Amino acid sequence: MCNTLHFPSPLRDVNAFEKRKQVGKGTYGSVYLGADKVTGDIVALKRINTEQEENGFPITALREVKILKALNHPNIVVLREIVTSKDQGELPKNVFMVFEYLEYDLTGIIESREIRYNQDHIKSWTYQLLSGVHYMHVNKILHRDLKASNLLVNRKGELKIADLGLARSWNKDMRSLTKKVITLWYRPPELLLGNSQYSSKIDMWSVGCIVAEMFRRTGFLKGKSETEQLDLIFHAAGHPTADGWPDVETTCPDWVKLKPKELLPRKIAEKLRASPLPNPAWITPNAVDLVDKLLILNPKERMDAHAALDAEYFFEKPYMKEASKLNMNFTVKSIHEWEARMEQEKRMEARRAQEATMRNGGARPRPPPR
């Protein structure tokens, strides 16, 4: 197979777009808000740095383009075109993927305290996420990096799955796949226990973590290392048992080394309902049941997307609303994870500067009179 990528001709030049501001940072380049200079259409420009790659073009980007061109679903982000810089030799120095632009990502929504979303949003976005995941799985595609920041939302209330850089085609006969996929907080136990012959159920664990995160407005299992992540999983979902996961020792080689003498019980419901919560009433028994079935340790028993779309949670009051029926009058007009992190860093820097001023003899605020 030839390692050099030859683009079909002609490709538009990136100067056809006005780059307005950076809104994100992806695996292989920055993401910018842009506008088509002719039509005025607002787009997201994802830069692919070809100069850092030995073969000239990241394999993950090639895979993402190929997969996105093959998929067509209302809950998967649309890749409109590929554009390049003018300085083209055999391979352009700068290549941009041009996507439809969505004003929010789910992490930005969850972490922005100025945005008030409710159970209507959670239910609709969960259903939309499952619809997109089901479509991918039916078409034998694993996403392998589902997380809140990779889920985009527009002002119409539509949720779309993005960033398919780690996605790949899959079939059940594949014997060895890389275990270093899925961001740690959303990584399922089979990957953490060394399973390299996994299935589409790895994405379903991620979906369960995302749904729990929406309810709690914070990450559900927030480990800082693989060891800590496993510990958090076991304290929430219990340890694997012979009844619940009979082939764990043969499919997950690291479990033999980690198996404790005393097994922890399953406590997903308690962990999901643990305070503080924005609104405990949102987490109904049917909501708990859905998350619980998505976070089953044994991937063979874990709920798939097709079954999840038929969960009782979507048929209880308040009934699931279509995107167009959601109240999207948020006070924040646009927010993404990268922007939220930048704002958070600015606030922290200001706080540290204020504390430093006070330590160096600056005036301290006087307490109010009693």
pLDDT attached to residue 3:
47
Could you report the per-residue pLDDT of 237-283, keeping only the tens digit for each?
A: 999 999 999 999 999 999 999 999 899 999 999 999 999 999 999 99
Q: Where in the chain is the domain with CATH 3.30.200.20?
A: 16-100
> Taking the domain 16-100, which CATH number applies?
3.30.200.20
Lowest-confidence segment of 3-12, 72-81, 211-220, 289-298 by average pLDDT: 3-12
Q: Are 105 and 151 in contact (CB under 8 A)?
A: yes
Q: Where in the chain is the domain with CATH 1.10.510.10?
A: 104-325
104-325 homologous superfamily: Transferase(Phosphotransferase) domain 1 (1.10.510.10)
Q: How far, CA to CA in Å, does 75 sit from each of 156, 167, 335? A: 13, 16, 19
Q: Are 42 and 33 in contact (CB under 8 A)?
A: yes
Q: Can you tell me the distance from the alpha carbon of 127 to that of 309, in angstroms, rounded to the nearest whole number?
A: 7
Q: Are 209 and 183 in contact (CB under 8 A)?
A: no
Residue 53: pLDDT above 60?
no
Q: Can you tell me the distance from the alpha carbon of 77 to that of 159, in angstroms, rounded to the nearest whole number?
A: 9
From the candidates 105, 145, 203, 304, give the one annotated as an active-site residue: 145
Q: Region 338-343: what's the mean pLDDT?
A: 70
DSSP secondary structure code for residue 316 in this structure: S
Q: What share of the chain is helix, strand, coil (3-state, %, to 5)?
A: 40, 15, 50
Higher pLDDT, 219 or 84: 219
Would residue 231 show up in a list of annotated catalytic residues for this protein? no
Higher pLDDT, 20 or 106: 106
Q: What percent of the chain has pLDDT over 90?
A: 68
pLDDT attached to residue 177:
86
- Residue reference for tokens 């080689």: 253
